[in-house]
Structure 1
Amino acid sequence: MPKATVDVDHTRSPRSTARLAWLIGPALVAGVAYLDPGNVASNMTAGARYGYLLVWVVVLGNVMAWLIQYLSAKLGIVTGKSLPEMLGERISHRWARRAYWLQAELVAMATDIAEVIGGAVALNLLFGIPLLWGGVITGIVSLALLMLQSRRGPRTFEFVIIGLVAIIAIGFTFGVFIAPPEAGSVVAGLVPRFEDTGSVLLAASILGATIMPHAIYAHSALARDRFAPPSAGPGSRTPVPLEQLRGIPTLRLLRATRWDVSIAMLIAGTVNLCILLLAAANLAGVEGTDTLEGAYAALQAGIGPVVATLFAVGLLASGLASTSVGAYAGAEIMHGLLRVRIPLIARRLVTLIPALIILGIGVDPTLALVLSQVVLSFGIPFALIPLVVLTAQARTLGEFRNRMLTTTAGVAASVFLIALNAVLLWLVLTGA
């Protein structure tokens, strides 16, 4: 006698709920790019020099970052390929593909330099370690994190990075509770306006440090690694749809990703805002706070050693986490565009050298961070424009392509960011 069958709604079971919770993670890892030392330097300087004037820039940048990171994750989930892989397939001319790789590689290396320098500065503030040796230690620890990612898989790597994000959040937000800003001034800072050329430069720097090309490349790869099984990976000829191989409908993955991106951007936006508010409330008008070392000394003198120490610990966690994700992004860029995959560990050793040279010859760390943001601004159009175009195409995403409103918002964000980064370049190069 055949057994009776009962249809069960697996999407409402506790096991399904737990599985959806398991989907959270890739955006939190990619979101580390929004908490790197470049962000810290830009937001701290903005608050110290202009008080609450540029609060609106931080909020606006975070809103645009949400859209951009969601589109990046959606590309990886639906296609099972990263943005560099898609561009490697679409750019048919060999030298054009190599030229695109070169600019993306330089941007990734510039990001990595800033992050290693940030870790070195933090170790110097905390323990008095010379900057060069601080850079070496930062590189070794990030190398260990990459070995963990290679041997234990993306999920373990995510847990470690999320732990560092928690340290970053505590380190950079604690001071706001000890010395809170004025609520009225914070609200007034939400009104878009500039004061002078310097405020425009800092606004462009904040956005340049917020929307980073390597975060776009990395997020699509992180989403691919988590949700696209190996049998459906790059070069696969399987006719089986990704949805069947995963066992989770693509629509549900995209809904979970929206939550993932929302949580990540809420954390990143809150932390960046707290950095600016901490400086605006406690460092405005104080001399020497335009450097990380000066800000640390001013916090120690004005609020106390606990807040200053937590700030330095947050900076250290920021450098360690972001440089690991940056190395991951750089390896993906090379693999996708040149179709060459080198071990993450080897890449870590190669990209560590420029940062150590800069630290060794005595270049001012804060200046190096600012210059790295200038290099990043060159790469913004090359990542943003293809992302918006690809996610709007039916031949790429099929039924999951962007709606007209989403595409319009993506185009508007791209134009705005590219224009502001052009202003940043002009102001820096002309010395205005």
Structure 2
Amino acid sequence: MLERFHSDNSLSEVHETIDATKHRSGIRKFLPYLGPAYLVSVGYMDPGNWATDLQGGAKFGYQLIWVLLMSNLMALLLQSLSARLGIVRRRDLAQANREEYPRTVNFCLYVLAELAIAACDLAEVLGMAIGIHLLTGLPILGGVCITVLDTFLLLVLQRYGMRKMEAFIIALVAIIGLSFLIELFFAQPHFGDVVKGFVPTSLNSEALYIAVGIIGATVMPHNLYLHSALVQTRKIKNDEAGIKRALKFNLFDTTIALNAAFFVNAAILILAASVFFTSGNTNVAKIEDAHALLKPMLGDLAPILFAIALIAAGQSSTVTGTLAGQIVMEGYLHLRINPWIRRLITRLIAIIPAVLVIVIYGDDKLDALLVFSQVILSLQLGFAIIPLIHFVSDKKTMGKFAIKTYTKILSWIVAGILVFLNVKLVADASVDKFQEGGQPILKTIIIIGWLIFAWLFTSMTLLPLLRRRKEKADASAAISMHSTAKPLTIANIPEPHKIAVALDFSDKDEKIIAYAIAQRKHEATYLLMHIVETASAKYLGDSSDDYETRKDMERLEAYAIQLRNMGYKTEIHLGYNSRVQEIVRIVNEAKADMLVMGAHKHSGLKDIFYGATVDQVRHKLSIPVLIVN
């Protein structure tokens, strides 16, 4: 079910399964590249967008159309950068982060990415449940539970290959677009007012909250992970011409797909503005209210199309959410989990808050929960965008395909706008909580949260810059060193007379002992040691006499007897409780000249569970330490 994953390929089961290297003419040259951006685009028209677009249109008319347009342009820029990373480096964003940042920073970025996917999935659950309720009358709580069943949809689609999956998603996108085209035909919005909505205007606090929600619903952090992996499903020629062709056609694909998503979002907002805002129904904040009001205003077909489009939006987002989760887990942790287990866990995480809200507050708070999920998505954006800009700007890894200076400046401006909006939103909410008085625990949590986010943001932003600066300094130092090369003087190193050998009674012991003997043969004394870490050893130390301590001593004696029979001089010693402290103590007290120990290649969470003994020991000793893998 769960396994350590060593492949360097993103989405390895479909990696380069679509051949784009064959010679084609005309429009057929573009067709192999068509698809990834459509899978990405469904995240830009999922049920979370519906809630923010409906509220924005009903409360503020056409005023927020410019926010949608700005969000779409931002999305177009950022998704093209994501595709560039995948095409040029053949790495997805999670893999690139893992290679660039320290383990602690990566763990935090992984948690935030998973949080973004869970927030997105929450919107899908609620949207699907509401759509089923509107179409069939089934209670929303029942619809939420039914959404567990679509866990297996991805498995069915994957059996038919990547192209069939993309065709399925494009069909759902077409259903959504056609439904709203018909809805707009019924609504007949005033064209002049729609055009005025494209002019930027100032926003009050309520409009800003919805605007940030719109941005969060449009520019989605998990889509940046997804796009950088999906473009790698195309097999391209790994030369300059092949990469340029892939970048060009993927830009076409992204432009077409995201403009389709912009049309859907704009159609929802315009529909709400023309039907509800102009008629005075500015308090329509719920999808159910919008559905109920469509029938008397636009006729019987309008609410049916509305519900069908909502179900299609939720269902299409289900597939891409699962793929994004797989990419994030494999990229950051090198762990692969069965897709249906992964999907089931993600879906249950989303269902639990939805069920709690329905049970405690009823259906009235669902749309507020939808908007809140989109604001959560927006808060994660900076932590996906900033690393992405660093990676595609790096000439060392991207070569001549690193982004140009003007693109870099524009990207940082977009990142700055998004971070500013998010910081302002969270800061305003934090100030309101502090002004309420009381609640010391909540205030403490807010302060700790701000400190953690400030540390992570600073680390994420500055570490790549510091690395590049260090690389330049090292290169300059290397040039300087090469220009003043001096002849080598080989020091006379004394041979070790006592070699300490740290054993853990695994199948690697024989290899460790062999390496130790190879250093001095029969002339040295070999100190065989093992650290006992039982509960008894922890409290009693060398007075411990439990079963494991006795068995460990017997194994050391058995090793020593075998070595003595071969003609080697040996000593044995047990340590207790702390591996690092005891190994250092025994080596120093025995006055050993060298230490030989094994390394087990622990990484990630295993270092937390098992400890990183090698690094700590070698920093505490002044003698040579030989590490045997």
Give the TM-score normalised by structure 2: 0.62
Taking the aligned partners of 1:262 and 1:347, their CA distance within structure 2 comes to 31
Aligned partner letter, 2:408: T
- Residue 221 of structure 1 corresponds to 229
- Residue 119 of structure 2 corresponds to 110
Alignment of 1:10-409 (within 5 A): 15=25, 17-91=27-101, 93-141=102-150, 143-227=151-235, 243=238, 249-284=242-277, 285-286=280-281, 288-361=283-356, 362=358, 364-409=365-410
Residues 38 and 373 in structure 1, CA contact (< 8 A), matched pair in contact too: yes
**Cα root mean square deviation, aligned:** 2.2
Shift in Å, 1:409: 0.9
Aligned partner letter, 1:376: L
Alignment of 1:414-429 (within 5 A): 414-428=415-429
Shift in Å, 1:252: 0.5
Taking the aligned partners of 1:195 and 1:86, their CA distance within structure 2 comes to 37
Residues 336-385 of structure 1: CA deviation (Å, up to 9, x unaligned): 01111112211110011133223333153212212212321221111000
Shift in Å, 1:399: 1.0
- Residue 490 of structure 2 corresponds to none
Shift in Å, 1:428: 4.9
Query: Secondary structure at 1:32's aligned position in 2?
Result: helix
Bigger Cα Rg = 2
Taking the aligned partners of 1:174 and 1:102, their CA distance within structure 2 comes to 41
Taking the aligned partners of 1:173 and 1:308, their CA distance within structure 2 comes to 13
Percent identity between matched residues is: 37
Identify unmatched segments of 5+ residues in structure 1.
Answer: 1-9, 229-241
Query: Secondary structure at 2:370's aligned position in 1?
Result: helix
Count of aligned pairs? 406
Q: Structure 1 pair 17/191, CA: closer, same or farther in 2 (3 Å)?
A: closer
Taking the aligned partners of 1:133 and 1:270, their CA distance within structure 2 comes to 32
Taking the aligned partners of 1:115 and 1:65, their CA distance within structure 2 comes to 20
Query: Secondary structure at 1:135's aligned position in 2?
Result: helix
Q: Structure 1 pair 57/154, CA: closer, same or farther in 2 (3 Å)?
A: same
Bigger relative contact order, structure 1 or 2, given CA contacts below 8 A and separation 6+? 1
Q: Structure 1 pair 135/207, CA: closer, same or farther in 2 (3 Å)?
A: same
- Residue 414 of structure 2 corresponds to 413
Taking the aligned partners of 2:86 and 2:31, their CA distance within structure 1 comes to 19
Residues 115 and 319 in structure 1, CA contact (< 8 A), matched pair in contact too: yes
Query: Secondary structure at 1:302's aligned position in 2?
Result: helix
Shift in Å, 1:259: 0.5
Taking the aligned partners of 1:424 and 1:168, their CA distance within structure 2 comes to 31
Taking the aligned partners of 1:203 and 1:357, their CA distance within structure 2 comes to 27
Taking the aligned partners of 2:44 and 2:390, their CA distance within structure 1 comes to 23
Query: Secondary structure at 1:249's aligned position in 2?
Result: helix
Larger fraction in strand: 2
Shift in Å, 1:174: 1.9
Give the TM-score normalised by structure 1: 0.89
Larger fraction in helix: 1
Identify unmatched segments of 5+ residues in structure 2.
Answer: 1-19, 434-629
More off after superposition, 409-418 vs 95-104: 95-104
Residues 215 and 378 in structure 2, CA contact (< 8 A), matched pair in contact too: no
